[in-house]
Amino acid sequence: MSKIIRIGTRDSELALYQAKAVQSQLEHLGHQTQLVPVKSTGDLVLDKPLYELGITGIFTRTLDIAMLNGDIDIAVHSLKDVPTLLPKGIVQAAVLKRGNVRDTLLFKHNEEFLGAREATIATGSLRRRAQWLNRYPTHTVVDIRGNVNTRLQKLEDSDWNGAIFAAAGIGRLDLRPEDAVNLEWMIPAPAQGAIMIAALEEDEETLAILKEINHEETEICTTIEREFLNKLEGGCTAPIGGLAFIKDEEVTFEGILLSKDGTKKIHVKRVKALGEHHDIAQWCADYILERGGNRLMDELKESHVPTNIYSTKSLTDDQRFLLNDKVKVESSDFVKISLNRIHPRFLKNEIQNVVITSQNAVEALLTNYSAVELQFKNIYCVGRRTKKMIENRIGKVTHTAKNAKKLAEYLVDNIEGTEVTYFCSDLRLDDLPTILTDNNIIVNEVEAYQTKLDSVKLPESVEGVMFYSPSTIQSYKKENEVKGIAFCIGETTAKEAKKHFKDVRVAKVPTVESVIELVNQHYV
């Protein structure tokens, strides 16, 4: 070939490495090449709108336009970043032999945190986030952006326990620490670790050259993975993983679809003889869609509609269905609970008066002791659900009140004796101990569980927040500026909300469903 092959590439360190790998193979075959780093689309002009050409990929559009403009002959991409449908006139011309396909965990210090209830992991990938949370649901996953070097520096400067990277990327840049661990259980992104070369469909001479460096096994496997992705109609906004490999003349494919928070997972695995593998992607996609994948994909698509309500407690599917069509809700647990060990000395003798204000305290007691060991003469509690839980699992409740303040007022007038044992959290915002103490009632506080504030930054579109305890409000304020409507489960929560919000609304009864009713009334 007489002309110089102009190799278009993004100008990041990793993109240049990949372009040089292609350049090396082409020059080894005797072809002349030139690297052309392309920085932005600002000065590139087309006579057709991007959408007419099907140009969509955030990491590939610059090179697509440059190629269609005739500024470059070929473009080098990480194949996992390439949309499954290429722009008109552009085709996949070759893929190089694939590198390490796995995701890799880099530690800040060591891997001991993997056995801990609480830990913080960084990743900018929805797929990695969802799979990590599915395996470690009590961990916190934070977002991380930037090129490989930037992300490595952010890990170094942070108090995170670790961060997840593509093994191929850190390996190609020779930045992989010795103690890094490949996550064999995590299904990678379709085509992860593969370098792809795109060219113009009409450029037959260049296509023929590139065929010489195409790695057929990698092409077969990545084609299956990308077809699976396409059949699920997924992209960077859906947590989808897919991996195919060939061994002993057999093709094995494993795929996964998850909810963004990792609580839902649909998994498939299929093995076919090489040569009979052409329907494997379709079969696996159909398998997932028929087993709840259609509904899960609908939920993921709906998540792109601007959120107007946020719940500081994860809602069940049944609770979500109660919200009317005008409400687009997102939810997560702004308060995480860790049950404590309750020392036997607190239960040495029969306790005359016990106060319980939450179901978490009931769980803590029952985690430590059997119902037979919980010998309480009088049990006073807050909320009918807490009462039901106590009476089903421990014993009869002497009195229940709507909130902690009302319970305290009742005890001042009706308590037997002058002392109570209060099984509570390390974080409390109620008035009960103060009211009792002011009325000469001794309060023995037993820390039954710990409350961790674990909020997220809410979208700008949120107009109202559903709160279920004073601590959910405190958690919300850690990450967010106060604005909009506070929909509160009860008076104690509302009292805290009124310190910060101008518009506070209180449910008629202290249930999640009643808070949902409040929201529906606002969006009639």
Q: What is the pLDDT of residues 244-282, one digit of tens each?
A: 999 999 999 999 999 989 999 999 999 999 999 999 999
Average pLDDT over residues 429-454: 88
CA-CA distances (angstroms) from residue 39 to 6, 20, 172, 175, 199?
15, 17, 21, 24, 19
Average pLDDT over residues 215-236: 88
Domain-wise residue ranges, the chain: 1-96+191-214, 103-182, 216-303, 305-334+454-522, 336-453
Q: How confident is the model at residue 55 (pLDDT cuts 50, 70, 90)?
A: very low
Q: What is the pLDDT of residue 69?
A: 85
Is residue 41 within 8 A of residue 63, CB to CB? The reply is no
- Which CATH fold would you assign to the domain 1-96+191-214? D-Maltodextrin-Binding Protein; domain 2 (3.40.190)
Please check the confidence at residue 430 and state whether its pLDDT lies above 70.
no
DSSP conformation class of 372: G
Dihedral angle sign, alpha carbons of residues 66, 67, 72, 76: positive
When the pLDDT of each residue in the chain is averaged and rounded to a whole number, the result is 88
Q: Each residue of 354-377: pLDDT tens digit?
A: 999 988 899 999 988 888 888 899
CATH class of the domain at 305-334+454-522 = alpha beta
Q: What is the pLDDT of residue 318?
A: 76
CA-CA distances (angstroms) from residue 136 to 129, 192, 267, 303, 353?
10, 23, 17, 23, 39
Phi, psi (deg, nearest 5) at residue 76: -110, 130
Please check the confidence at residue 405 and state whether its pLDDT lies above 80.
yes
CATH class of the domain at 336-453 = alpha beta
Q: Each residue of 284-319: pLDDT tens digit?
A: 999 999 999 888 887 777 666 688 999 999 888 778
CA-CA distances (angstroms) from residue 281 to 190, 236, 269, 278, 455?
11, 19, 10, 7, 39
Rounded Cα distance, 219 and 240, in Å: 20
% residues pLDDT > 70 (the chain) = 93
Q: Each residue of 112-137: pLDDT tens digit?
A: 889 899 999 999 888 999 999 999 99
Please check the confidence at residue 234 and state whether its pLDDT lies above 60.
no
Higher pLDDT, 341 or 487: 487
Phi, psi (deg, nearest 5) at residue 163: -145, 155
- Give burial (CB, 10 Å; 0-12/13-18/19+) of 176: middle
| Least confidently predicted of 228-242, 393-407, 507-521 | 228-242
Q: How confident is the model at residue 428 (pLDDT cuts 50, 70, 90)?
A: low
DSSP conformation class of 419: E
Domain 216-303 carries which CATH code?
3.30.160.40
Q: Identify the three-state secondary structure at position 470.
A: helix
Higher pLDDT, 196 or 491: 196
Q: What is the pLDDT of residue 181?
A: 93
Average pLDDT over residues 385-401: 93
DSSP conformation class of 302: H
Rounded Cα distance, 59 and 10, in Å: 8
Please check the confidence at residue 43 and state whether its pLDDT lies above 50.
no
Q: What is the pLDDT of residue 2?
A: 64
Structural tokens at position 485: 């409507």
Active site residue 174: no
Strand partners, 421: 354, 444
Please check the confidence at residue 54 and state whether its pLDDT lies above 50.
no
Over its C-alpha atoms, the chain yields an Rg (Å, rounded) of 29
Please check the confidence at residue 52 and state whether its pLDDT lies above 60.
no
Q: Each residue of 136-152: pLDDT tens digit?
A: 999 999 888 777 888 89
Residue with tokens 């659900």: 385
Please check the confidence at residue 202 and state whether its pLDDT lies above 80.
yes
Q: What is the pLDDT of residue 47?
A: 44
Q: How confident is the model at residue 91 (pLDDT cuts 50, 70, 90)?
A: very high
Phi, psi (deg, nearest 5) at residue 103: -85, 145
> Does the model's pTM come out above 0.75?
no
- Which CATH fold would you assign to the domain 103-182? D-Maltodextrin-Binding Protein; domain 2 (3.40.190)
Side chain identity at residue 480, one-letter code = N
Q: How confident is the model at residue 48 (pLDDT cuts 50, 70, 90)?
A: very low
CATH topology match: 1-96+191-214 vs 103-182: yes
User: Which one of 11, 81, 203, 431 is the catalytic residue?
Assistant: 81
Rounded Cα distance, 163 and 51, in Å: 35
First to last CA, the chain: 69
Kind plus residue range of the DSSP H or E element containing 476: helix 470-479
Q: What is the pLDDT of residue 49?
A: 40
